[in-house]
A = this chain, B = another copy of it.
Amino acid sequence: MAVEETKANILDAAESFFAEAGFHGTSLRQITERAGVNVASVNYHFGSKENLMDAVLRRRLEPLNAIRFARLEAVKAEAAEAGETPSVRAVMIALIDPTLRAVVQPEFGGFSIIMGRIFTDHRGAIMERVRPLIEPLLACYLEVLYEALPHLSREEVALRLRMSLGALQHAIHAVRGHLTDSCPRELVTALPEEAVVDSLIDFVTRGMEGS
């Protein structure tokens, strides 16, 4: 088996198990068995279980963040060309649209579940390793939102962004739950992906802009 294929198989298996049972709830033996590789290969290719989790996250987050940065730059450029400040709605679309669309792709497996869990994990070594992947992105979006909402305090804008991220996270779970398996009935949406994207963007735009 080619090296990259072996690594990809390990990453796929790890992603699904970490989503299902969490980092501590998953053993390397489960991962290597599902990946069809040897027990020792995780430590050979990744160094440790923790490094493996890091690789699982980076594989998805780095390309996704590149897109989200680019989308924000495009919004800023377009507004600058018109001599205006970007609209709140345009900024939120730049953040939400690529995120939700990426995350519902089947190959993203349990990534959204892992991220959702990490996002509510304030402690632990893993959060420390994801933080540098998230903070710069949020900082860029916040800068633009401060300009777009000059009548609000920075604290208020940051809190509203945080609440919007919560809405995004749960919307993702609502759609993904629909795609995957057993969920509390009330928490799964029967709406198609398109409808959820639209509803979410309207929801957070109203939330960000109000009063």
Contacts and interface: CB of A to CB of B under 8 A. Distances in A.
Contact of A191 (B156, B168, B171, B182): B156
Given A120-B113, A173-B120, A173-B122, A135 B167 contact: no
| Copies of this chain present | 2
Interface residues of A, number: 60
A162 B203 CA distance: 11
A57 to B, nearest CB: 15
Interface stretch (A16-24, A39-47, A65-73, A84-92): A16-24
A131 interface: yes
The list of the 5 closest CB pairs from A to B, nearest first, reads A166-B170, A166-B166, A24-B24, A163-B167, A116-B120
Contact of A22 (B22, B139, B200): B22
Interface of A: 20-25, 113, 116-117, 120-124, 131, 134-135, 138-139, 142, 155-156, 158-171, 173-174, 177, 180-187, 189-191, 196, 199-200, 202-204, 206-207, 210-211
B156 A199 contact: yes
B202 A204 contact: no
Contact of A186 (B122, B124, B142): B142
Given A142-B186, A158-B186, A122 B207 contact: no
A135 B186 contact: yes
A177 B159 CA distance: 12
17 contacts: A120-B120, A122-B177, A122-B181, A122-B183, A131-B184, A138-B184, A138-B186, A142-B186, A158-B189, A159-B199, A160-B203, A162-B187, A163-B166, A163-B171, A166-B166, A206-B207, A206-B210
A53 to B, nearest CB: 13
A138 B187 CA distance: 9
A146 B161 CA distance: 27
A123 B202 CA distance: 30
A4 to B, nearest CB: 30
